[in-house]
Structures are given as C-alpha cells and as structure tokens.
Structure 1
Amino acid sequence: MKNLLGFVSFALIVGGISGLLSDHLGGFRLFGFVQYLVPGGHETAGYTGLVLLGTALAVVTGRIGRGR
C-alpha cells in the first residue's frame, strides 16, 4: 500500500509541475492525463492543487512508513 501511495503522490507532484510549466511556457506535456483532472479555465489553480495534494499524500505516506 505504501508503494502505491508513493507512486500516486509522485505522479500528482510531477504531473502538476509539468502542467504548470506547460501552461506558462507552452509546449510539451509530459503527463497529459492531468489535463482531465483540471477544469478548463482554471489550469494554474488546478495544477497547483495537484502539487499540494501530491505533497500532502507524500507526507501521509511517509508517516505511515514510520509508524511501524
């Protein structure tokens, strides 16, 4: 379970950063699936939210690992 949560948090963080870079610089989208998670017209806030959600999930995953 910890590995799955770690992967999901990684995908959210990298996807959000990739979306922010692509939105502001234009061009290549590394994680194209995140565009389906963000409503149109709210890209900057949506991608920032993905980065924050991924970071929070990474913190929770780290605490799960230390609890044992």
Structure 2
Amino acid sequence: MTSTTPKSFLAALSGLFCFVFVVGGASGLLHEWFGWIHFMGFVRFLVPGGYEIYSYVVMIVLGLAVGVAGDTVARRGRR
C-alpha cells in the first residue's frame, strides 16, 4: 500500500542527495573501469586526483547512508 501523507522536506532532500551520490558514484566507477559512461560528469570535481576509485566507493556508501537516514526521519515523523 502507498501512503498518501506527503514527505517532509528533510526526507525529500535526503532522497535527492541519496540519488545523486549513488548514481554519481556508480557512473564514476563505470567511467573509471570501462571509460564509456559518464552520466553525472560534475562529480569528477568532487574527487581528488589519484583517488578516484576510493572516492566513488565512498560516495556510494555515503549516498546509501543518507538514504537510510532520510527514511528513518520520514518514518519517525509519521508516528
């Protein structure tokens, strides 16, 4: 079932950050490994030179953590 209650601003913002970090990190990893996809090119400005792989993995983990935190805030607000 879907909920009809609107999400809070913080939950919606964390969902946006989650999407940007996870998709940006994944596309950065694919670009580093295969060299053919560069969907979110602006994330290359967020990583230091020589540490691209580590930075993209951290970006994915950070995006997942932000998504879980936003989901927790949204659930806590429904009580």
- TM-score w.r.t. length of structure 1: 0.95
* Aligned equivalents of 2:49, 2:30: Cα separation in 1: 16
- Gap regions ≥5 residues in structure 1: none
* 1:59 equivalent in structure 2: 68
Please tell me the residue identity of whatever aligns with 2:50. G
Q: Secondary structure at 2:49's aligned position in 1?
A: coil
Identity within the alignment, %: 38
* 1:5 equivalent in structure 2: 14
Give runs of ≥4 in structure 1 deviating > 3 Å.
none
- Gap regions ≥5 residues in structure 2: 1-9
* Aligned equivalents of 2:58, 2:49: Cα separation in 1: 14
Q: Where in structure 2 are the equivalents of 1:42-53 lying within 5 Å? A: 42-53=51-62
Which of structures 1 and 2 has the bigger CA Rg?
2
Question: How many equivalent residue pairs?
Answer: 68
1:36 pairs with 36, 45, 54, which one? 45
